Each structure stands twice: as C-alpha cells, then as structure tokens.
Amino acid sequence: MRLSGRVAIVTGAAVGLGRAVAARFAREGASVVVADMNEEHGTALVEELRKQGLEARFVPTDISREESVQSLVDTTVTHYGRVNVLYNNAGILLADRDRPGHELSLESWDQIMNVNLRGPFLCAKYTIPRMLEDSGGAIINVSSRTGLSGCAPALTAYSTSKAAVIGLTRVMAAAYAGSGIRVNSIVPGTMDTPMNRYILVDDATREKYRSAVPLGRLGRSEDIEGLAVFLASDESAFCTGGLYMCDGGLTAV
C-alpha cells in the first residue's frame, strides 16, 4: 500500500473524479476525509469504504466559505491528528451561465471563482500550517485543459479559474519547496462524470468529444487514480510545481 499511515483530505469527493480518488487513497492505506457539500453521496461513499474495512470520514464542507474550510481542517486534525495530503478537486462548471466575457454576469463569475479558485486557496491556506508542523506534505490541485487553451470559448470564468489554479500550483510549489510541501496539478481531459452530463447525454455530441481524443475514448473516473496516488505518495518525492496530463492525448495534438 502506497499511502499507509497518511491522512488525506479529498474535496468534492462525493461523486465523479474525487470519489474515485478518495476510494483509491483509502485502498492505498490512507485515512480519508471526504469533504463535500453533497451529504447524501458523501456519506454513502464513507459507509461503502468502512464496509470494506477502510478508514474514511465525511465532513460536510463548502470550500468557498472560510469558516467551513477551517472547520474541515480542525475536524480532520481532531480525528486523525494531522493532514499529509490535500487533494483540491471540488469544482463547478455552470454551463448554462458561464458565457463569453461581455455576456457573463458578475454574479456567475464570482460564484465560479469562489469555488474553483478561492476554494483551493482556502484549503491550502488552512492545511499548510498543519503540514509545516509535520515537516511536509503533498497538495494536488485539479486544473483542466480549459486552463491551458481557449478550447471552450463560452466558459470564460471556468477556464480562467482553471488557469489560475495552475498559477496557484506554481507559486505555492516555489514558496514551500524548502519546507517539504510539494504542490502539483493534474490536468484532466474530457471525463465521463456528472459535471459533463450536459454535453455527454446527447449521443452525437458525445461522439464528437470521444473522437477528438487521440486514445479514442472519454476518460473514466478511475483513469485519474494512479496519477493522484503517485503525486500524493513519496514516489513523486522529486516532483513539485508540475502539470500532469490525464487526457488521452488531447493536449498533445
């Protein structure tokens, strides 16, 4: 097991990519804190993991709210004594409201930024002091291909937030390299999760997205697990400030 004895917070772990990563972290020996607003699916995951004899706990969390994040970190430390891994995964894509710049309301811009950028910042801000007490840790920020190019021209706020997450990764990697905290970013491609239901329910649109992927299929939640474990574990001890694609080759072409 590659994460034995580690304590990991996974945000947005109730469904989708975060759920797969939280479950895999637990199978790799970590005590996992499932941090999400979705209580129903978050507690269901924890029950499922506990039935398998794995260690997990649900903490209801809104990553965009400072007091909620403080409470997440405090609860984690109260129960498990420390935080070794922060997997900053929770995010929102408001397909019906994110628009080209002049059509985008300030309210939607703020909502997306508050979750996708302020959220990972707040989680890092309150987790890092605990990691410093422990002489290190690993932070993984989930970005997106839309943060690397203008491939989704209607998604102004989402794309900007995901580009900023890469900036956050790099500046924090530089700031904490001397303190043993590694900060890296995963860049998923088009993954078959609830977030993408709005494009993938339609067969023709689904086929358009599938056929654009050099490896010939959409990503599955479990595709991200191996990379997440690698970046959370000592196997990536010499890796910080990096971007790791999990996109079937999308960004290579």
Site for ligand NAD in 102-121 (CB under 6 A): 115, 119
Q: Which of 112, 157, 191, 227 binds ligand NAD (CB under 6 A)?
A: 191
Distance of closest approach, residue 230 Cβ to ligand NAD, in angstroms: 17
Q: Which is nearer to ligand NAD, 119 or 137 (CB)?
A: 119
Q: Does 38 bind ligand NAD (CB under 6 A)?
A: yes
Q: Which of 84, 89, 185, 233 binds ligand NAD (CB under 6 A)?
A: 89
Per-residue binding string, ligand NAD, 151-170, x by CB under 6 A, is --------------------
Q: Which of 7, 83, 123, 142 binds ligand NAD (CB under 6 A)?
A: 142
Q: Does 36 bind ligand NAD (CB under 6 A)?
A: yes
Asked about 87 being catalytic, the answer comes back as: no
Residue tagged active-site, from 80, 87, 158, 244: 158
Q: Which stretch binds ligand NAD (CB under 6 A): 88-96, 175-183, 207-215, 228-236?
A: 88-96
Site size for ligand NAD (CB under 6 A): 29
The 3-class secondary structure across the chain, one letter per residue, is CCCCCCEEEEECCCCHHHHHHHHHHHHCCCEEEEEECCHHHHHHHHHHHHHCCCCEEEEECCCCCHHHHHHHHHHHHHHHCCCCEEEECCCCCCCCCCCCHHHCCHHHHHHHHHHHHHHHHHHHHHHHHHHHHCCCEEEEEECCHHHCCCCCCCCHHHHHHHHHHHHHHHHHHHHHHHHCEEEEEEEECCECCHHHHHHHCCHHHHHHHHHCCCCCCCECHHHHHHHHHHHHCHHHCCCCCCEEEECCCHHHC
Give the residue numbers marked as catalytic: 158
List residues near ligand NAD by CB under 6 A: 11-12, 14-18, 36-38, 61-64, 89-92, 115, 119, 142, 144, 188, 190-191, 193-196
